[in-house]
Amino acid sequence: MKNNIKIPFANLNKQYLAIKREIDEAFNNVLSSASFIGGKYVQKFEEEYADYLGIKFCVGCANGTDALELLLRAYDINKGNEVIVPSHSWISTAEAVSNVGAKPVFVDTLNDSYNINPSLIEEKISEFTKAIIPVHLYGLPAEMDKIVSIAKKYSLFVIEDCAQAHGAMYKRKKVGSIGDAGAFSFFPSKNLGCYGDGGCIVTNNEEIAQKIRMLRNHGQLQKHNHLLVGRNSRLDALQAAILSAKLPFLDKWNNNRRANAQLYNEYLKDLDVGLSGKGSHSNHVYHVFVIKTAQRENIRNILNDNGVETNIHYPKILPLTNVYKEVDANSKYPISYSYQSKILSLPMYPELEKEDIDRIVQIIKSALIVK
Ligand SMILES: *Cc1c(COP(=O)(O)O)cnc(C)c1O
């Protein structure tokens, strides 16, 4: 059943061609303005994105990892402090904690949704704990009510890692607006991505927003008036203008992702491939579409032989990576550890066609029969 047409994991070129006029215009406007760092295009996007999320402040920065790190610094989290993070995420979630000198304390995930398990958080809280970073992994909001109530009980900050969940809703709120603050990445393949690196923080707390404005720009609000030891972590004007051009399409793209996920779910429901749960009160934005199967390697190879590109998010849980190497991590995080060898991310993007999904599912079915 070989077929020569390749199905990529994501297709940024197809998206660009669909909105070429808007993007080219945004690009040309910035080139003509000759204002590349800071300025009106950055401010415009910050205001538009804050409005979109229903939150007071958005501050652009260089990437999503920096967004997390800047927030930790703004909340004065550093050496001697601990921060609760899920055992299963992209490295940035734990890396940002380590980079401010604090210790990431891992918590296993839920059995059906890949997100942090709120009922395992309290036993990991110590006198050194300062914050919880829930990740809305794969585009599905974490169980925020439970997380926020634990945080309140122990006076902890909640910093949402929203890098995979632009526009996802929990109850009636967009993610990023539920905890104390949120961190977004605009890496090109994210649900809202620019054409390089980019990120932002969002919060309703004016003091934190102001502190981030300083931290991202050498500790200054006015040139040469350095009030804090900051750094350079700014969002470029070109990237901001591209994000402004793309933002009006985000809801439509997320709807297309959901429709594609629905097709996958429908076609795959009778197969033993552990489809992910929907979480409670959540509107999933399917940054990635993940299946779980003991035959992962077999399926992955056959898909690859047929030109279908897949990925693994992620091959190792964080406590088992070389940087953390926690002893007995396999038995301490049994649920996320058990995923490690089973999870497979299938192609997922708004422009994916029904015929593509049909073909991918046919290949998976044939792979499962062959065994
Ligand atoms: C992409 C991502 C980040 C960081 O984003 P960068 O912009 O690449 O630094 C952080 N957390 C999660 C869960 C991510 O997927």
Can you state the angle between helices 64-74 and 206-215, rounded to 10 degrees? 120
% residues pLDDT > 70 (the chain): 98
End-to-end CA separation in angstroms for the chain: 16
Over residues 166-185, mean pLDDT: 97
Protein residues with CB under 6 Å of any ligand 1 atom: 63-65, 89-90, 92-93, 135, 161, 163-164, 185, 187, 197, 199
Contact 326, 340 (CB under 8 A): no
> How many Å lie between the centroid of ligand 1 and the Cα of residue 269?
30
Read off the pLDDT of residues 211-232 as tens digits, 9 standing for 90 and up: 999 999 999 999 999 999 999 9
> Residue 282's pLDDT is what?
81
Name which of 235, 236, 243, 231 is nearest 70 in CA terms: 231
Strands, E assignment, 269-323: 282-283, 289-292
Q: Which atom of ligand 1 is nearest to the CA of 187?
A: 7
> Residue 2's pLDDT is what?
52
Cβ neighbours of residue 133 closer than 8 Å, sequence gap 6 or more: 68, 83, 84, 85, 86, 93, 97, 158, 159, 160, 161
Over residues 176-183, mean pLDDT: 98
Q: With 80 as the cut, is the pLDDT of residue 138 above it?
A: yes
- Residue to mutate, 90, 317, 348, ligand 1, most ligand atoms under 8 Å from C-beta: 90
What are 169-175's contacts with CB under 8 Å, separation 24+? Answer: 169/141, 169/282, 169/283, 170/141, 170/142, 170/144, 170/281, 170/282, 170/283, 171/144, 171/145, 171/281, 173/54, 174/52, 174/53, 174/54, 174/55, 175/136, 175/141, 175/144
Confidence of residue 363 (pLDDT cuts 50, 70, 90): very high
- Distance in angstroms (rounded) separating the CA atoms of residues 186 and 296: 29
Cβ neighbours of residue 78 closer than 8 Å, sequence gap 6 or more: 72, 100, 101, 102
Average pLDDT, the chain: 95
Q: With 90 as the cut, is the pLDDT of residue 328 above it?
A: yes
Q: Which atom of ligand 1 is nearest to the CA of 190?
A: 1
- Distance in angstroms (rounded) separating the CA atoms of residues 217 and 232: 5
| Other CB atoms within 10 A of residue 348 CB | 21
Cα Rg of the chain (Å, integer): 21
**Calculated CA dihedral for residues 250, 254, 257, 262, nearest 10 degrees:** -160
Name which of 89, 162, 124, 107 is nearest 340 in CA terms: 89
Tokens of 85: 């993070």
> Residue 48's pLDDT is what?
98
Q: Which residue has the tokens 């809202």?
A: 192
% residues pLDDT > 90 (the chain): 92
- Residue to mutate, 164, 166, 201, 285, ligand 1, most ligand atoms under 8 Å from C-beta: 164
> Residue 370's pLDDT is what?
62
> How many Å lie between the centroid of ligand 1 and the Cα of residue 125?
25
187-206 CB burial, b ≥16 within 10 A, e <16: beebbbbbbebbbbbbbebe
Contact 179, 199 (CB under 8 A): no
Q: Which atom of ligand 1 is nearest to the CA of 65?
A: 9
Which residue's CA lies nearest to atom 5 of ligand 1?
64
Confidence of residue 278 (pLDDT cuts 50, 70, 90): confident
